[in-house]
Structure formats: C-alpha cells, structure tokens
Amino acid sequence: MKRVIIANPNAGSGKVKRHWDKISRDIQSSVGTAEGRFTTQPGDATRMVKEAILQGFEQVVVVGGDGSVNEAINGWFDEEGKAHNAEASMVIYPHGTGGDFARSIGVTGSNLSALFLEASDKQIDVGLVSGVDHSGQPLRHYFLNISSFGSSGVISNNVNQMTRAGKFLGGKAAYALGTVKGLVSYRNKRVRLRVDDTYEEELVVNTVAVANGRYFGGSMKVAPVAYVDDGLFDVVVMGDMSLLDFIKHNGKLYRGEHLDSPGFSMVRGKKVVATPVGHNDDVLIETDGETPGRLPVTYEILPKALKLFAPWGRAEAIE
C-alpha cells in the first residue's frame, strides 16, 4: 500500500517535531512503511492531503491535534462533495493540544503503536457545515468530530490564542482555562433551531453541539451516546446556563452523565439549521476546535463518507 504521513511539527507545543524520529518509527512499525511530509503553516494539511490522494496514496496518516485532523478532512473531498478516492483511508495518530475525536475511535493511551496493531478499516460519517465565514462570504467546511456554536466558539478562540507556555499545561487544562475565561464574559444567545422535520424551537442557548463523535473541549463527554457510523447527529443543547451552572455540572459533563440534568436536552437528526434571532449576528461556530465562521448555519451528515483505519475494538471498550 502507498502510504503518506502528514504531520504538523508544531502540534502539542512542538512535541511532534521534538519526538519525530520515534513517532515515525512507531507509525511505520504498526501501520506500515510511509513517506513523511511536514506542514509549515495553517491550511497546509488540507492542500497536502488533496495532493497526496491525487498522487495515488492509498492511506493518509494524520499526525497532530484536532485542528490537524479538521484540516485533513477538508482536503478529502472535491468541490461537489465526493471523495477524491473513495477507496483511500485515513489514520489519525494524535499528538496535539486536543485529541477529542481520537477518544471516540479508541486511539487513546500512551502506547499508540500497539493499538494500531489491532486496527481495521470502517466507513464512518462526516459532517458538513454550510454557512458564512467571518467576512460574510459563503462557508463550506467538513468535520469529523463535533461542530458547535455559542460560547464554545469563544472558548475555542481563547484556546487557540493561548500562549505556548499555556498549552504546555495539556489539552484538558488548556480547555478548562479557556472555558472559564470565555464564560465569564459570554452572554447567552437566542437562536432558532430546526432538526430535520421533527424539531423546531426558538431558544436561549449557551452552546449547541452537533455531534458525530462524543468528546470536545479537552475530553468533555458532551455527546455520550453518539456513534460515528449511525448516519445521525446527536444535537446536544445547553440552554440558558451560566458559569455557575457549568461548574455545578462539570463532573457530569466530563463523565457523560449530564443529559438528564436541568438545562440540557438532546435530539437526533440528519440535518440541522440554526439561525440567530434578533441582533445576534456574532454567534460563532467551531468545528473540531477551529472557528471558521458564524451563524446562520446548516449542518448535514454524509453517511459513511470516509474510510477510517482505527482500533475499533478499543472504541467499543470505552462505551
């Protein structure tokens, strides 16, 4: 198999660059022989993934955090939303500030190379965001894990702007600091939310998570019963909640035990439309930790659009 590694050397505050020789050896001993390529600036992974697939590479190993994975999936499809090569597969080898999607697919722990000896291919769903970017231009953006809007967009901006020293605290601590900073100044927004033809409500919300995977925000298990291959989003609504409410439910959120708590609700569907109500023109969206735009937005799920190579037995073990 013709295989390429697309690696972000700055992921994990430079951890990938510092430990590249070991990372490369581990990947090639467990996944297979591969050519290595480094990104140098934001957006490189999108371009490089597209180029690699068109060059005939059959498997793309993405090394980095959630942001690197998000860039990679945005190089997977053509302008019509079709995979450049439907038979090609992706491998996610997490090394970054955030590794939330990796948790949903069983790629977690200190011995990743051993996990991949148990890996196999599975077709999984991909999310598509259609909306507007920060300059008001049309936005079309794919995601594998979770896209959300509300306070999460502000929090993701805080984390992404955090200093290098701050990110050395690790993903969970970095997101915890970003969450507190964001929620102190954030004011909840009124939006109209529609899911398929079965749900439509005008709500005051703190955050709405449109989930393919289960975790976001540095291991917060926000969508505890989401599946990456069921053809549905789990739409988790955090209503008119304050910082004190989040502190109160913090433990439940990380354990995935919050859905029955006051202020939380969930609905499933294939298409989600969210529109700001009134003068709320600053409701930021985030996708896999990146912040590409703002409301209004439409989410659509692309069933089984990506072949992903992962230790699926381990994913089942974390149910």
Contacts (Cβ under 8 Å, ≥6 apart) of 15: 95
Mean per-residue pLDDT, 178-186: 60
Position 197 pLDDT exceeds 70: yes
**273-304 pLDDT per residue, tens:** 999 998 766 888 999 878 889 999 999 999 99
Residue with tokens 């995979």: 83
Q: Look at residue 160 in the predicted model and tell me its pLDDT.
A: 54
Binned at pLDDT 50, 70 and 90, residue 187 comes out as confident
Q: Look at residue 208 in the predicted model and tell me its pLDDT.
A: 96
Q: Look at residue 173 in the predicted model and tell me its pLDDT.
A: 55
| Calpha distance 123→299 (Å, rounded) | 20
Position 77 pLDDT exceeds 90: yes
Nearest to 100 by CA among 159, 158, 35, 163: 159
Mean per-residue pLDDT, 110-134: 93
Beta bridge partners of 58: none
Q: Look at residue 134 in the predicted model and tell me its pLDDT.
A: 87
Q: Are 117 and 187 in contact (CB under 8 A)?
A: no
Instruction: State if pTM tops 0.95.
Output: no
Q: Look at residue 164 in the predicted model and tell me its pLDDT.
A: 47
Packing angle between helix 66-73 and helix 44-54, nearest 10 degrees?
50
Position 168 pLDDT exceeds 70: no
Q: In the chain, pLDDT over 90 holds for what percent of residues? A: 68
Q: Of residues 258 and 112, which shows the higher confidence score?
A: 258
Q: Look at residue 75 in the predicted model and tell me its pLDDT.
A: 98
Q: Of residues 177 and 223, which shows the higher confidence score?
A: 223
* Size of the chain, expressed as the number of residues it contains: 319
Least confident among 42-56, 143-157, 261-275: 143-157
Contacts (Cβ under 8 Å, ≥6 apart) of 313: 106, 118
Mean of per-residue pLDDT scores for the chain: 89
Least confident among 74-78, 156-160, 192-196, 312-316: 156-160
Mean per-residue pLDDT, 247-260: 93
Q: Look at residue 163 in the predicted model and tell me its pLDDT.
A: 44
Mean per-residue pLDDT, 151-159: 62
* Domains by residue range for the chain, with CATH: 3-125+305-317 (3.40.50.10330), 127-303 (2.60.200.40)
Beta bridge partners of 4: 35, 60
| Calpha distance 21→191 (Å, rounded) | 48
Position 9 pLDDT exceeds 50: yes
Q: Structure tokens of 96?
A: 């970054």
Q: Structure tokens of 23?
A: 């990372």
